Structure 1
Amino acid sequence: MSATQTDPTTADPTPAAGPRLKRPTRSSDLLVTALAVVVALVIGGVLIALADQRTRSAAGYFFQWPFDTFTYGAEAAWHGYVALFQGAIFNPRTAANGTLVGYLGPLSETLTNATPLILGGLSVGLAFRAGLFNIGGQGQIVLGAIFGGYVGFAWDLPPVLHLLVAVLAAALGGALWGGLVGWLKARTGAHEVITTIMLNYVATALLAYLLSVKWFQAPPFGQAISRPVDKSAQLPPLLGSTMRVHAGLILALLAAWAVWWLLERSVLGFRLKAVGANQFASRTAGMDVGRSIIVVMVVAGALAGLAGACQAVGTNTQITQDIDAGIGFDAITVALLGRAKPGGIVWAGLLFGALHAGGVQLQSVTGTPIDLVQVIQSLIVLFIAAPAVVRAIFRIKASGAGVGQALAKGWNG
């Protein structure tokens, strides 16, 4: 054997390629997400301290006695987060009366707020996985509430059938509104961000009109509020009539499982993710990209419509102009925090539901503006979208792509 030849039995099988790219690990993603929440809560604590009157007064003589400023600020932040926990999870003061409402009342409010957020987050997350940005959750929720609420108060059906038809009608309303966006995208190339935002305005204007006509408006026709939904069409309470959490929570969890199965176990889900990863390659492989876009927007709209059903025939029994309660836009942050995955969206929805429920207690006990909850939510998403900042703060070595890159690739990581 010549000196220039290599014995194949002793050759190194490892190819002489460049440095290998590390794939992002699940544990690393979870760690960065958890630390992003911690950083957001720390900054939120600073803001609570700044809103405290004693802390601001002590800051006036900070250079003479700085200890007071830090002490009062820490106490304000501590009491603020204790109030947030008591309003969202458990309040020993209300539990002292020994009633079920006292024990589970705060948790009931968390679950009630989380239910439509989970459904809305699933809607946004599913579109993300297909490479689309569904910013039209507000309009789809409004259409779902209109369809479901109208069936609830205008149709006379047997109890179980009435509820089923109302929920299906809400899903149909959202599906029509989302499907219109998909059709415009597939047939005309209209960008889904523009069409969804414009359809949000159309939906809210349509609701305003309906709340002014007598066949939709509640008598004596002096206020912009719909007729009440019949008892037979209302989602039943899960913990008794004294607490607001209703069967919509079960519907949201079933929807999360259905979306997981669709994405991970079905041929349709594979096609949707393939289209989200690369439309040109999918078209070359023989996939109908336009049809996939329409299908994913129909399903996403139906999920948002179910969130509207939870609002119209669950949490509320009458439709008002603010029936969407900002859920359509909060759902975007829920999907971001959950990394567009059904399991993550459920946990993110529960977290945001807890923040919403606890924010009321935070304001009533400490006087801190409830808008601070929105600030904390925004900070959480900000740090998750910029994982390099979190890694720099905690000196964590980078192990893969961040959320921004995942967004660019259609959330298929």
Structure 2
Amino acid sequence: MNIAYLRPPRGLRDYPPEIWGRIKYLGESFLELASLWGYREVEAPALEKLEILEKKAGPNVRDEIYWFKDKGGRELGLIFDYTVPLARYIAANPSLPKPIKWCYFGRVWRYDEPQAGRWREFWQFGVELIGSDKVDADAEVIALMVKCLEKVGVPEPKLMVCDRRLVMSALDTMGIDKSIRYEVLRVIDKKKKISPEEFRDMLAKLGLEGKADDISEFSSTLVPFNEAYEAASNYDNNIAVFFRELSEILNEYGVIEKVFLDCSIVRGLDYYTGLVFEAFCSGGDRLSRLAIGGGGRYDELIGLYRKPGVPATGFALGVDRIAMALTSREMNKVNIVNLYYMDKSFRGYAIMVAEQLRRNKIPVVLDFYSKSIRDSLKQADKRGYRFQIIIGRKEFGENKVTLKDLVEKTQETLTIEEAITRIRST
């Protein structure tokens, strides 16, 4: 049989424990932090009406949606993010008290060309703050995004921020016709992914060959965000003032050093109306070029489904890509205890120990299949378990266990209560 027959469809992947464990750990860590900021967890249907998904997402979005006609002839699609279905729900329920602070962790689908770090099915964590147009709301979601990345140890996280209103003002200053500005935004959005020659060629196809230098100079602006006021004041004084207040709040949150003004950030989805941002991290050429998250303000999206509109902002993190970036041993080892007993006569004691650990919320694998301590340790290491408990004649006689920490490379003989305390302290 051809082994390819047993692989998932192109662009999808399997989730064995070593992959799913990392994704689940990250998602739960982000949800835990978001709850401390007052965000409540929600879920969304996997399927939406195609017309809902296409609303204000851009002319090419249908090509990126897994869509089909159901048996009743209705056009449906798998969600490509959570923002659209949540916006649709809020439009359907206008009496919800605002501001609304929701968070989520789930899978989404996009019919992109698969490549390293890009799948057609992937996992997102995100937050939506709906009902406030204040700069404080923008600052909160940016600060929370940074705090999420810091919490799980993402290497050297950076947030690249811009504002679509600033870009439009710059294009107005350059005399770019309004009818092609969204096409120019799409070219700018691709700037970091293509060569300078390709960038110029794409602008030339829009009839902007003579404006290419001006557009390139503007979109190359990259400064620490505490210098954003000066950079923006050349094009739009109102946005410059907005940036100055945003910078002050981000400084109060203690994240300003991680935030930069990058005028090549415009985001691909047309529902963004103001502030936009993307997150990056270190991790080699491949990872450093991939955004691990993004977001921004979408004040008009909810109003497209039902008037009146509602101001809104939020972000989403690509959990799969963040899992790629994290290679620390803490992510490689999970706090599962592999419990091996050396003789059948110790089985009852081993089961009692396992049950006591489980009552204390400590996961335990009762190893009754390994042929030796050496074999048991080998299996624990292969499976990524952090702890090994060994029960032999000495441990059985003293009502104790031998606990090995496979990360710290330590070994101790302890009472069951001491072992529980030791495991919980990691």
Same fold flag (TM > 0.5): no
TM-score (norm 2): 0.28
TM-score (normalised: structure 1): 0.29
Which structure has more RCO (C-alpha within 8 Å, separation ≥ 6)? 1
> Where is the helix percentage greater, Structure 1 or Structure 2?
1
More strand by share: 2
